[in-house]
Structure 1
Amino acid sequence: MKFRRFSQFSLRIAFAAFVALLGCDHAFAQAKATQLPAGIKMEKDISYIPEGDVAQKLDLYLPEKAAENPLPLIVHIHGGGWRGGSKFPCAVAPMVLKGYAVASVEYRFSQKAIFPAQIQDCQAAIRWLRAHAKEYHFDIERVGVVGGSAGGHLSALVGTAGGKNALPKIGGNEEQSDRVQAVCDIFGPADFNTVVQQAADDKNVKNIFEFNTPGDPYSLLIGTRLDDKAKADAVSPVHYVSKDNPPFLILHGTHDTLVPYAQSEEFAAVLKK
């Protein structure tokens, strides 16, 4: 199968997210935590699952001046080893000034709930956003997702598992799709079956934890050792790849000290088949 070309929207949303995550928007980078650049308004801590967990919330960034046409939506998923990090502040929020709506999603951490809780939360948030598209003036046919590290892993899972009913749904809005039209995966782990050996083979990787121990974020996420193949398969974006996946942009530094570069090489090769 030939590698699928990016649509114009996919290229724009992936590049826009990449630029923002690099911190190229000086105005936002210099803003105080409680201050947004002029022209952006924010709705904070919106529950995407009514009466759900305290973590099941998102922040929404919109233009202060209503757009004439429905806006493409960037969904940002933060990193933090599936056990930390925060949806705020959101590095992609400046993309509102470039014609996008932005949602930054919080999810349950692995100390509280093991996989698939994290991807279920992200998919529930996407369905909630689609269900409220008219209220917030989104274009439900142009939804992209971006994240780095653990957020890259979850973004990749949203891309490969979305729209397939591969995982039990939570949070309602099941009439809405959790499929997205573009993915920007920034150094996210892609295959839990191969990450241990790839880390051992990569001279740049200097993990601050030992795999298959209580301090290992990979094992903590799935609730067991990584040699449990069924659970390692279930959590791995590479396991869900199919010919109808949306376009991907994968970004990964060759000298990454935490996630082996080979993870993204392996994932890209499977996506291209």
Structure 2
Amino acid sequence: MRAQSSSSSGALSPLFLRLLAAVALMTASACVFPGVAALAEDAPPYSQAQDVVYGEVHGTGLLMDVFTPRAATNGLAIIDVASGAWHSDRSKIRDHTLAQMYPIYCARGYTVFAVRPGSKTRYTIADMDSNLKTGIRFVKEHASQYHIDPERLGLTGASAGGHLATLAALTATPSKPDAKKAKDRIGTSVKAVAVFFPPTDLAEWETGKPSDAQLLRSLLYLPGAAPADMEEIMKAARAASPLYHVVKTDVPFFLIHGNADSVVPLSHSQRFVDAMKKEGNSAELQIKEAGGHAWLTIPEEVRAMAKWFDEKLGNTMPRSAP
């Protein structure tokens, strides 16, 4: 399969512009949906520790925010991959707050770790995947400090965050207690994964059509490092795509995707779930009628995910509002 190269290396691809527009829409939703914004302004059911350093790459710290329930905790944790359009600036955490993600999970007793895996301006997808796994190891290593069970972690994310969460779960590294390097002693497996509208096939964004070459170069390589051979680029795209890593797994997946998504087509989730079921895996897809790339009532679906995590992770603690 061979893709056509972009006619202009300097201009942003139409697909990437749509991704950026979708992120802007999610941010603007808080302004036009007062219920979400009002909840975010009320006293939240958690305490928030900002910019916790979970790792280091070339002398630069990798950051996460930790949301701890103010009331009783259930001993469980959710790792949220805070990334949109493969950017993980602080606005992504704000967007997830406005979507009620942290209030909803913390009200049910979960401790939430909002991991920022890096942005495409400095990191490739392979780098982001490695950074996310560093974050998972950090959470497990500090489980006693946060009073959580390291063997019952949930992993979530939306859009690019959903892609990275799904990829990390399917390519998890096992624990090696006798490994020489400390980072290799702790595995990166999780117990359950629930994501919103994730890109699962970077090589074929729209069914039957090779992905935009410029977008792939920007995601898979640092500036100036992309090879000229498109076959090599497509091979790298498949390696970075969850769809091509589907194997038999005990980890259940839950996906929510709108059938009016013009940024990440619904087919990404449909094809992924089909592939998972062919392997005999547990995978569910909930389709949001008329849902685009995010929607104003998305807190309802966040609650559905929280309920799903309750079942898969074994949360028996009664929830409080919201």
Shorter-chain TM-score bucket reads 0.7 to 0.9
Equivalent residue in structure 1 for 2:152, among 123, 131, 142:
142
In structure 2, relative to structure 1, the CA distance for the partners of 1:51 and 1:150 (3 Å cut) is closer
RMSD: 2.9
User: Cα deviation per residue 1:4-51 (whole Å; 9 max; x = unaligned)?
Assistant: xxxxxxxxxxxxxxxxxx99xx8874256xx67344111111110157
Worse overlay, 218-227 or 177-186: 218-227
In structure 2, relative to structure 1, the CA distance for the partners of 1:146 and 1:29 (3 Å cut) is farther
What TM-score, normalized by structure 1, do the two folds share?
A: 0.74
Equivalent residue in structure 2 for 1:30, among 18, 35, 38:
38
1:116: which partner in 2?
A: 126
Q: Which amino acid aligns with 1:93?
A: Y
Q: Across the two proteins, how many residue pairs are aligned to each other?
A: 230
Q: Which amino acid aligns with 2:242?
A: P
Question: In structure 2, how many angstroms separate the alpha carbons of the residues matched to 1:259 and 1:51?
Answer: 30
Deviation above 6 Å: which 4+ runs of structure 1? none
- SS of equivalent residue, structure 2 residue 194: strand
CA contact (8 A) 2:174 2:186 kept: no
1:254: which partner in 2?
A: 259
In structure 2, relative to structure 1, the CA distance for the partners of 1:199 and 1:93 (3 Å cut) is farther
Residues 1:162 and 2:172 are matched in the alignment: yes
Runs (5+) with no aligned partner, structure 1? 1-21, 166-170, 201-209
2:76: which partner in 1?
A: 72
Higher Rg: 2
- SS of equivalent residue, structure 1 residue 122: helix
In structure 2, relative to structure 1, the CA distance for the partners of 1:152 and 1:46 (3 Å cut) is same
Identical-pair percentage? 25
Deviation at 1:79, TM superposition (A): 3.1
- SS of equivalent residue, structure 1 residue 185: strand
User: Cα deviation per residue 1:191-215 (whole Å; 9 max; x = unaligned)?
Assistant: 1222144569xxxxxxxxx9223xx
User: Cα deviation per residue 1:88-135 (whole Å; 9 max; x = unaligned)?
Assistant: 224321111111110101122121121311111111001000000001
Deviation at 1:219, TM superposition (A): 3.2
- SS of equivalent residue, structure 1 residue 49: strand
CA contact (8 A) 2:174 2:187 kept: no
Deviation at 1:55, TM superposition (A): 5.8
1:88: which partner in 2?
A: 93
What TM-score, normalized by structure 2, do the two folds share?
A: 0.63
In structure 2, relative to structure 1, the CA distance for the partners of 1:199 and 1:151 (3 Å cut) is farther
CA contact (8 A) 1:159 1:245 kept: no
